[in-house]
Amino acid sequence: MAGYRKLSRTASQRKALLRGQVTSFLYNGKMITTESKAKEVQKIAEGLIAMAVKEKDNFEVVKVKAKVARKDKDGKRVKEVVNGKKVTVYDEVEKEIKKDLPSRVHARRQMMKVLYSVTEVPSTNAGKKKNTKEVDLVAKLFDEVAPKYVSRKGGYTRIVKIGLRKGDAAMEVLLELV
């Protein structure tokens, strides 16, 4: 018996389908799909969540000094004339950043191998590039999802059967985070 379902697709198509579904599932927290696809997505998602739970606190906080451009009330950079040229004025700011330890960096890269990048578009500007922002799903896994499941030893997702799909009578299920 094979270790995975082939889902009537070639290897590259299957990999792309599962990556897309896992990304969508972790971004939204739930999804409706067929039973066999849900079981494959569940395997991958549980592994990613387990990795996030294990490496959740594996970082150190470091203070860094950074130069940040000074901005006026409109949010535009302040410029000064120096030697006949306009030069942006910078302020030195001290920030605290999270510095991942090597094992967490490895986990982050393993997750990025599976997850696609997600671009969030506001509903008011649907179809436009303006005001879109890139969502860091890996950071969401570490910061939002993992703390919920620290006390659990697996079983982060559940499959609930909905019923048969009208077109082809395939069993539809709801896959959700517990």
Q: pLDDT tens for residues 98-141?
A: 999 999 999 999 999 999 999 988 877 767 777 788 999 999 99
Confidence of residue 14 (pLDDT cuts 50, 70, 90): very high
21: closest CA among 42, 52, 2?
42
- One domain for residues 47 and 123: yes
For residues 168 and 36, the answer to whether their CB atoms sit within 8 Å is no
Q: How many Å apart are CA 164 and CA 38, to the nearest integer? A: 14
State residue 50's pLDDT score. 97
Distance of CA 122 to the CA centre of its chain: 18
pLDDT at 132: 85
Alpha carbons 107 and 139: distance in angstroms, whole number: 11
**Per-residue confidence (pLDDT) for residue 160, from 0 to 100:** 98
Note the pLDDT tens digit of each residue in 28-75. 999 999 999 999 999 999 999 999 999 999 999 999 999 999 998 888
Number of domains making up the chain = 2
* 173 and 122 both lie in a single domain: yes
The verdict on 46 and 85 lying in the same domain is no
**163 and 172 Cβ atoms separated by less than 8 Å:** yes
Would the pLDDT of 1 be above 60? no
Residue linked to tokens 């500007």? 125
Looking at the structure, do residues 133 and 168 belong to the same domain, yes or no? yes
Residue 32 is assigned to a structural domain of this protein: yes
> Residue 40: is it exposed, middle or buried by C-beta count within 10 angstroms (0-12/13-18/19+)?
buried
Report yes or no: 56 and 147 within 8 Å, Cβ to Cβ.
yes
Distance CA 136, CA 173 (A): 27
Site of tokens 């290897």: 11
63: domain range? 59-100
* Structural domain contains residue 106: no
Q: Is residue 144 part of a domain?
A: yes
Q: What is the mean pLDDT of residues 12-35?
A: 97
Question: Domain check: are 30 and 40 in the same one?
Answer: yes
- What's the pLDDT tens digit per position in 161-170? 999 999 999 9
Is 151 inside a domain boundary?
yes
27 and 72 inside one domain: no
DSSP labels for 25-80? HHHHSEEEEEHHHHHHHHHHHHHHHHHHHHTTT-EEEEEEEEEEE-B-TTSPBPEE
In a domain? residue 63: yes
CATH number of the domain enclosing 15 = 3.90.1030.10
Q: Give the total residue count for the chain.
A: 178
